[in-house]
């Protein structure tokens, strides 16, 4: 017995799950943001910090 009819079907379903998990599912340990929102916020904060450090020099 197989859960999927083919490897392609398995890849598509697993890929869709990963996309949904990263883009739509919020996480309480990430301040109720999605993984993508959290990563974007971190990157923006890093860029702001780097810009302010460059301006101080």
Rounded Cα distance between 3 and 12, Å, is 13
pLDDT digits (tens, 9 = 90+) for 4-56: 999 999 999 999 999 999 999 999 999 999 999 999 999 999 999 999 998 87
The answer to whether 24 and 34 are in contact (CB under 8 A) is: yes
| pTM exceeds cut of 0.85 | no
Q: How far is CA 24 from CA 27, 28, 43, in A?
A: 10, 13, 19
């Amino acid at each position: 017995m197989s859960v999927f009819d083919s490897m392609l079907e398995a890849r598509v379903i697993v890929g869709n799950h990963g996309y949904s998990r990263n883009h739509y599912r919020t996480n309480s340990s990430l301040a109720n943001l999605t993984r993508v929102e959290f990563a974007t916020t971190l990157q923006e904060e890093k860029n702001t910090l780097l810009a302010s450090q460059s301006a101080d020099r």
